[in-house]
Chain A
Amino acid sequence: MEQTSADITASDDIRPPVASIGVIGWVRANLFDGWFNSLLTLATLYALWVVVPPIVRWVIIDAVWNTTGAECRDAAGACWSIIATNFRFILFGFYPYDQQWRPLVAMLLLFGLLYYSQDRKHWTKMLGYGWVAGLVAMGLLMRGGLLGLSSVETTKWGGLPLTLLLSVFGLTAAYPLGVILALGRQSRLPIIKWLCVVYIELIRGVPLISLLFMGSIIFPLFLPEGITINKILRAQVAIILFTAAYIAEVVRGGLQGMSRGQYEAAESLGLNYYLTMRLIILPQALKIVIPPTVSILISAFKDTSLVVIIALWDLLKTSQAVLSNPEWMGFSREAYIFIAILYFLGCFSMSNYSRRLERELDRDRP
């Protein structure tokens, strides 16, 4: 008996059929199982064969990278020169040419902070202070007027720093407001609840553009004579008010996910409303809603592109300004693709991060 079994293992070290392992096996299992899938694969491959080579030719092979606009017109492929020649204006707008290192440093600071904050182990009080210090330093770098930096008016801020500014401050300010609105909507006090519901539903029912119009055209009328608020800040306020309503709905989801027992336990400890929320409910509820909050951040980031409609010089507007230059007229595709790539990188890294975080939080849950 033992003999036989040993025999089998030794001599019949049978390998599985070639067709079910390795590359071929994978291809069979994933691309050609059954006639329908085979047909689908072939059709898709054919479509790719038709579409991809011309695109690759246009994007890379026939493209020109560092020429004048006139030379571009003779090229068969994409004219990336429009980016190469104008990228400083596209990225920084009207910011004084010789001072453009300042927004660059500010942006690097922001990226550094964001990168460092990715790891949840780093989420300490110190990081909070770090962010506050970082934001102040960024503001100082952009605005100047201190420490020997020449002052740069906000009307000259543009391009990527403006886009980032609008989204980062938009979210940091909208977050607490959104939490308050969510708490208000869950409140047992009817008037508070009613006010919050009306606000949230009203804002969520209208497009952002109408709020931006309101900020850019009507808002000045709401202020008393003689007080004016900067155009950028008005757009910022519109974005904050808009985002807050969406955050409120996300946070409400988290609050509703809390079991009744948590409230009762807090009450039985004699905690008042404020302490119950601050120590028991919010820490748990906000943790649940981190992933959807990141998706709100992503859409807020994308939504900042709308300020182009009220003539703020964000990334999209600066590239359009370049496109209206006669030398570069007609190369919209290249410019828009470049901007799209920037947005894509930003959003994609955020959504990847959100997915990772979601997995981590899932693991943490008992």
Chain B
Amino acid sequence: MGNAAAQKVPFWLDPKKRGIVFQIGTVCMVGLLAYYLISNVLINLEKQSIATGWGFLTKESSFEVGESLISYSSADTYARALLVGALNTLKVSFIGIVITVILGTVVGIARLSTNWLVSRLAKGYIEVMQDIPVLLQLFFWYAVFYETFPSPRQALNPITGVFLCNRGVAFAVPAAHPAHAYMLAALVVGLVLAFFLRRWAKKRQDRTGQSFPVFRVSAGMVVGFPLLAWLAFGAPTAMDVPKLVGFNFTGGLTLSPEFFALLMGLVLYTGAFVAEVVRAGIQSVSRGQQEAAMSIGLRPSQVLNLVILPQALRVIIPPLTSQMLNLTKNSSLAVAIGFPDFVSVANTTINQTGQSIEGVALIMAVYLFFSLSTSAFMNWYNKRVKLVER
């Protein structure tokens, strides 16, 4: 009987079959829409005789890019110009994220301070920065930079070796010396040794219960090895001081106003959000945890490292990841103030080649790649942090 009833059910009342039909319908609709749009594009491209394809990537770009991490000239290809832009995006995002995390942590802790004045100030900062569009902040800092600072010939010189003018900030940096390569190598060796030391110390502690001053020893290695390398080369102290030659400063390290304004705007804006994330994370660890940890005799540093941080980080990391991604995506606003990031270079490319579809597709692909790889990394890290929870 049940069998007969099941057979009688018409297919549109069977959820499974209905689901299949519904899905096929959706696929058909999406497919049709895609077909319609793509055919329109093809017709339009054909009619307006707009060039298509990726051939332009290997052509000579013939335009200059303001700042570059790799060597580039207008005789290079579009592909290289775009690479320059992508590296600039990475540069500003990476530096921005590092400073933002530091700033956000400080402000987040300040927000929880028992000191009324400090916590109010932190609150005011968070409120104001969160509520002003980041693009407006970029324009503001850019305008402040070039409207306030003097021309290079009257550059401000607040500290020896640092020059402030409307062309940017020029720093003195140590002059190139073979010792630097060895110092870098020593740093890497120190870091690797510190990593293994930590693992060894943890194993030993698990086995014997004896703790080892890992932090102090590793810090000593990480700082000490490069220092030793530096001393071994006779402690070179020559500095490459920026000098005014012709129109601009040469030598040293110059940060352009565009870069500075972009960094400033992104960091101040995102920092406010990160501060809220950090505050929420710290507040999520109940006071009892801290009291319990202290009552079993852990030192304050151990309380922080072993009890508070592992729990707070679990709460902090997912929203922090999305803030990092926001910063990376917002760095695309560089195009508005003329920092040659990826969007800016791609924009020029679109303009010079007329191939807007390829250009916008590239922009999307590159940011998707950045976003997906950052979230993949952060997910991996999040999982590692999660293991602490037993």
- A–B interface present (Cβ within 8 A): yes
CA–CA, A221 and B360, complex, Å? 13
Given A206-B367, A308-B135, check contact A191 B23 (CB 8 Å): yes
| Chain A hits for B135, CB < 8 A | 305-306, 308-309, 316
Choose from A41, A202, A221, A302 the contact partner of B133 (Cβ within 8 Å).
Answer: A302
Within 8 A of B (CB), among A199-243: 202, 204-210, 213-214, 217-218, 221-225
Instruction: Tell me the nearest residue of chain B to A36, going by C-beta.
Output: B115
Contact of A221 with B26 in the complex, beta carbons under 8 Å = no
Within 8 A of A (CB), among B329-362: 329-330, 332-333, 335-336, 343, 347, 350, 356-357, 360
Binds B, one of A17-25, A140-148, A344-352: A344-352
A263 at the A/B interface (Cβ < 8 Å)?
Answer: no
Interface size class of B (residues with CB under 8 A): 35 or more
Contact of B118 with A340 in the complex, beta carbons under 8 Å = no
Contact of A206 with B23 in the complex, beta carbons under 8 Å = no
Binds A, one of B123-131, B186-194, B293-301: B123-131
| Chain A hits for B206, CB < 8 A | none
Binds A, one of B36-44, B78-86, B156-164, B307-315: B36-44
Contact of B40 with A340 in the complex, beta carbons under 8 Å = no
Instruction: Tell me the nearest residue of chain B to A307, going by C-beta.
Output: B135
Instruction: Tell me the nearest residue of chain B to A27, going by C-beta.
Output: B116
Choose from A44, A191, A306 the contact partner of B118 (Cβ within 8 Å).
Answer: A44
Contact of A316 with B41 in the complex, beta carbons under 8 Å = no
B185 at the A/B interface (Cβ < 8 Å)?
Answer: no
Contact of B40 with A223 in the complex, beta carbons under 8 Å = yes
Contact of B23 with A214 in the complex, beta carbons under 8 Å = no
A358 at the A/B interface (Cβ < 8 Å)?
Answer: no
A284 at the A/B interface (Cβ < 8 Å)?
Answer: no
Given A222-B41, A306-B135, A344-B128, check contact A206 B115 (CB 8 Å): no
Contact of A41 with B360 in the complex, beta carbons under 8 Å = no
Q: Is the interface of B mostly helix, strand, loop or mixed?
A: helix
Choose from A218, A333, A348 the contact partner of B147 (Cβ within 8 Å).
Answer: A333
Contact of B115 with A30 in the complex, beta carbons under 8 Å = yes
Contact of A225 with B136 in the complex, beta carbons under 8 Å = no
Interface size class of A (residues with CB under 8 A): 35 or more
| Chain A hits for B176, CB < 8 A | none
CA–CA, A362 and B17, complex, Å? 42
| Chain A hits for B235, CB < 8 A | none
Name the distance in Å between A208's Cβ and chain B's nearest Cβ. 8
Contact of B118 with A221 in the complex, beta carbons under 8 Å = no
| Chain A hits for B357, CB < 8 A | 218, 221
Choose from A33, A217, A225, A339 the contact partner of B360 (Cβ within 8 Å).
Answer: A217
CA–CA, A309 and B363, complex, Å? 15
Choose from A40, A222, A298 the contact partner of B37 (Cβ within 8 Å).
Answer: A222
| Chain B hits for A62, CB < 8 A | none
Given A191-B23, A195-B30, check contact A343 B47 (CB 8 Å): no
Choose from B43, B121, B371 the contact partner of A205 (Cβ within 8 Å).
Answer: B371
| Chain B hits for A214, CB < 8 A | 360
CA–CA, A309 and B140, complex, Å? 15
Sample (30) of A-B pairs whose CB atoms are under 8 Å apart: A37-B115, A40-B118, A41-B115, A45-B117, A190-B23, A192-B26, A202-B368, A205-B372, A207-B330, A207-B333, A210-B332, A210-B360, A213-B360, A217-B360, A221-B44, A221-B45, A224-B40, A302-B133, A308-B135, A309-B135, A320-B139, A332-B143, A336-B136, A336-B143, A340-B140, A343-B131, A344-B128, A347-B132, A348-B127, A351-B131
Which 4 A-B pairs rank lowest in CB-CB distance, beginning with the nearest?
Answer: A332-B143, A347-B131, A30-B116, A205-B371
Residues of B within 8 A of A (CB): 19, 22-23, 26-27, 30, 37, 40-41, 43-45, 47, 113-118, 121, 127-128, 130-137, 139-140, 143-144, 147, 329-330, 332-333, 335-336, 343, 347, 350, 356-357, 360, 363-364, 367-368, 371-372
